[in-house]
Amino acid sequence: MKLQTQRWIDRWVGQLLCAGLSVWARWRGNANPKAPAQVRHVLVILLSEMGSIVLAGPMFAALRAKYPGATLHVLQLKKNQEVSRMLGLAADEHLHALDDKSGVQLVKDIWRFMQTMRALPLDVVVDCELFSRISALLSYLSGAKLRAGFTPHTQEGLYRGSFINRAIPYNPYQHISKQFLSLVDALDTVQGAPVHKAAPIRDLPARTELSVDFTADELNSYKAKLAADHPSAVGRKLVLLYAGGGILPERAWPADHYARVAQGLVAAGHAVGLIGLKDDAALAADLKSRVASDLCLNLTGYTRSIRELLMLFHAADLLITNDGGPGHFATLTPIQTMVFFGPETGKLYGPLPGLRGAQAKIFESGIACSPCLSAYNHRLTFCDGDNQCLKRIAPDPVLQEALGALAVPAVGA
């Protein structure tokens, strides 16, 4: 199903369903129930992009600490499950999926999911989606007694019902990882939104609380394979560039700027690897032709899974990337990272400190219209394709930052 179709259904049909369910919930009463004496099953709804899973790592750790004896369930879109499975967020049988490729399949999956949750029964649900109506509806239909989620409070046009009984206002001035933690804190109060003054003061998490275990033999074998496949990079520091924009092309730093940085890195004697999905192959081929050196490697499609991508990060020294999943996955490895933000902001979605405490370097231009994507406009930009917020981040200062990062040992090395 197309993304725009999903948004239309969520906006118009979703609001009607939320209104009807709110009336039903009010008629049934018990709007602010007490927490169960024993929490047996907890569900986290996280339908967003894969990078959000990493940013939610501290929240998962807080839930486990809060309910050590509970079984944790995770509901995601089927296409995003690879990361959760790799990170062991829940047992395989407790990872639940919705397939959004077609409307019929999506309805079938929702029905099956509801039956599964109500048979448990479920005690707590944490809805991490910002203003999605389908996730709000699922949080109620799951049968959970406590339902934590975001509320727009008095914001017009973002209605998602009044049945979330542990609601907190979405705060566009706080990093999303802190807001995910606030959802866990909200489970302790019956005051409801917008009153949430008893919550603890939290700093930005110093780590993701997530890890992927690799054996030394596994990493060494991968490095040997990389060396055999690309001998020109042997004995050189390897810099990975992710120039694709993914599902939001307006997040991409200009290809000309990437080419300039790649040329400078190669001139300094470093190897450059162009990474991405198969859809990014044409862009990578164009960049490689501009660099015109065997030290520039086209690695699009080279990794067959997120786990292999992490092994590639272990084998490299620096990642330069657009806002998206790779910058967040990199925090699970020792690689240094530089990330471009424009349509969205690193203040809200910047990667958390990585393995050994390495902090990503964030580049933002600060142009007046940036950031333009938010929960309030459902990530529909008013930009006409001329993303000046990223074009104005000049390549030469980025190149100097990259050369400087490569000149010093990695944090904790």
Q: What is the pLDDT of residues 27-61, one digit of tens each?
A: 988 777 888 889 999 999 999 888 899 999 999 99
Structure-token pair, residue 335: 């690689």
pLDDT at 354: 85
Statement to judge: residues 55 and 138 lie in one domain: yes
Mean pLDDT, to the nearest integer, of 301-328? 96
Residue 312 three-state SS: helix
Statement to judge: residues 280 and 375 lie in one domain: yes
pLDDT at 196: 57
pLDDT at 328: 96
CA distance linking residue 241 with residue 275, whole number of Å: 6
Tally Cβ neighbours within 10 Å of residue 146. Answer: 23
Nearest to 324 by CA among 337, 339, 310, 312: 339
Statement to judge: residues 224 and 179 lie in one domain: no
CATH code for the domain of 11: 3.40.50.2000
Q: Based on the structure, what is the number of domains in the chain?
A: 2
Statement to judge: residues 164 and 255 lie in one domain: no
Does the pLDDT of residue 383 top 90, yes or no?
no
CA-based Rg of the chain, rounded to a whole angstrom?
22
Asked whether residue 99 is domain-assigned, the answer is yes
Residue 122 three-state SS: coil
Asked whether residue 360 is domain-assigned, the answer is yes
φ and ψ at residue 205, rounded to 5 degrees: -50, 140
Quote the percentage of the chain above a pLDDT of 90.
77
Does the pLDDT of residue 191 top 80, yes or no?
no
Asked whether residue 154 is domain-assigned, the answer is yes
CA distance linking residue 357 with residue 205, whole number of Å: 11
Q: Where are the alpha helices (DSSP H) in 187-343?
A: 216-229, 255-267, 281-291, 306-315, 325-329
CA 282 remoteness from chain centre? 25
Asked whether residue 202 is domain-assigned, the answer is no
Statement to judge: residues 152 and 40 lie in one domain: yes
Statement to judge: residues 262 and 320 lie in one domain: yes
Mean pLDDT, to the nearest integer, of 304-331? 96
pLDDT at 357: 79
Statement to judge: residues 256 and 395 lie in one domain: yes
User: pLDDT by residue (tens digit) across 77-94?
Assistant: 998 999 999 999 999 999
Structure-token pair, residue 260: 């300039």
pLDDT at 413: 44
Statement to judge: residues 255 and 171 lie in one domain: no
- With the CA atoms of 264, 267, 268 and 269 taken in that order, what torsion angle do they form, in degrees rounded to the nearest 10? 130
From 165, 186, 207, the end of a domain falls on: 186
pLDDT at 193: 54
Asked whether residue 298 is domain-assigned, the answer is yes
Mean pLDDT, to the nearest integer, of 358-382? 90
pLDDT at 410: 55
- Angle, in degrees to the nearest 10, between helices 216-229 and 306-315: 80
Q: Where are the alpha helices (DSSP H) in 67-160?
A: 81-87, 103-118, 133-141
Statement to judge: residues 242 and 362 lie in one domain: yes
Structure-token pair, residue 357: 């405490």
From 147, 165, 186, the end of a domain falls on: 186
Asked whether residue 22 is domain-assigned, the answer is yes
Statement to judge: residues 144 and 239 lie in one domain: no
Mean pLDDT, to the nearest integer, of 280-285? 95
Does the pLDDT of residue 192 top 60, yes or no?
no
Asked whether residue 138 is domain-assigned, the answer is yes
Statement to judge: residues 331 and 385 lie in one domain: yes
Banded pLDDT at 408 (limits 50, 70, 90): confident
pLDDT at 197: 67
From 141, 168, 186, the end of a domain falls on: 186
Domain holding 220, by residue range, is 216-407
Statement to judge: residues 135 and 243 lie in one domain: no
Instruction: Tell me the average pLDDT of the chain.
Output: 92
9: left (phi over 0), alpha (psi -120 to 50) or beta: alpha
With residues binned 3-state (H G I as helix, E B as strand, rest as coil), the percentages for the chain, rounded to 5, are 45, 15, 40
Peptide bond into 353 cis (omega under 30): no
User: pLDDT by residue (tens digit) across 211-258?
Assistant: 999 999 999 999 999 999 999 999 999 999 999 988 788 999 999 999
Report DSSP letters for 255-299, one per residue: HHHHHHHHHHHHHTT-EEEEE--GGGHHHHHHHHHHH-STTEEE-
Asked whether residue 317 is domain-assigned, the answer is yes
